[in-house]
Structure 1
Amino acid sequence: MGLSLSEDMMDRVPSHVGIIMDGNGRWAQERGLPRIMGHHAGVKKVEVAVRAAKDLGIRYLSLYAFSSENWKRGRGEVGGLMGLFRYYIKMKVRQLREEGGRLLFAGSADGLPDDVREIMAYGEQETRHCSDITLVVCLNYGGRREILDAVGKAVRDGVQDLDEETFRRFLYLPDLPDPDLIIRTGGEMRISNFWLFQCAYSELYFSPKYWPDFDRDDLVEAVMDYVRRDRRYGGVKV
Structure 2
Amino acid sequence: MKRSRINDIIRQSDAFIRSFGYTLPPFAYLSPEALKAGDHAEIKRRRMGWDITDYGQGRYDEMGLFLFTTRNGLNEDLGQKSAMLYAEKIMISKQDQLSPMHRHDLKVEDIINRGGATLVIELFAADAEKGIDRSADVTVMVDGNWRTLPAGGHLKLAPGESVTLLPQHWHAFWGEGGDVLIGEVSTVNDDLNDNIFEMEIGRFSNIEEDEAPLHLLVSDYDTQL
TM class, shorter-length:
0.3 to 0.5
TM-score normalised to structure 2 length: 0.32
Structure with the higher helix share, 1 or 2: 1
TM-score normalised to structure 1 length: 0.31
